[in-house]
Amino acid sequence: MKYIAFLRGINIGGHQVKMEQLRELFRKLGLTDVRSYIQSGNIFFETAETDRVRLTRKIEQHLRNRFELRSANLSADICGGRTRVIRQKEMIFI
C-alpha cells in the first residue's frame, strides 16, 4: 500500500533533520519507494503493512530513538490506502 507520513515536531528545538537522513531511516524500517516532499517532513512510502496504528507507532518509536526526541515532540499522521488525502475528514489522525 502507498502511504504518506505527515511528521510534526521533527525539526524543532534546534533539531534539524535532513530529508536524505529521514528517507534513510524510513528505508531501515523496511519501507520501500521512500520519497520526501521538499523540506516539509512529509514522506511518501510503500509497505505491505495495512495497520496504520501499528505503522505509526513503529515510525514514531524509530524516529524518537534515533533522534532522542521526547514523546510530546514528535507525531506522525499516516494516510494511505483508500484515504483521500485532500479530504481531511477522511484522514485518520493517530
Element of type H or E holding 61: helix 52-67
- How high is the pLDDT of residue 26? 94
Whole-prediction pTM value? 0.73
Position 80: which residue type?
G
CATH among 2.60.40.10, 3.40.50.200, 3.30.70.1280, 3.40.50.720 for 2-90: 3.30.70.1280
Q: Please report how many Cα atoms fall inside a 13 Å half-sphere around the Cα of residue 54, on the Cβ side.
A: 6
Listed as ranges, residues in the chain with pLDDT below 70 are 11-15, 69-76, 80-94
- Nearest residue to 78 (alpha-carbon basis) of 90, 67, 94: 94
Report how many helices (DSSP H) and strands (DSSP E) the chain contains, helices first.
2, 4
Torsion angle in degrees (nearest 10) through CA of 9, 82, 54, 19: -40
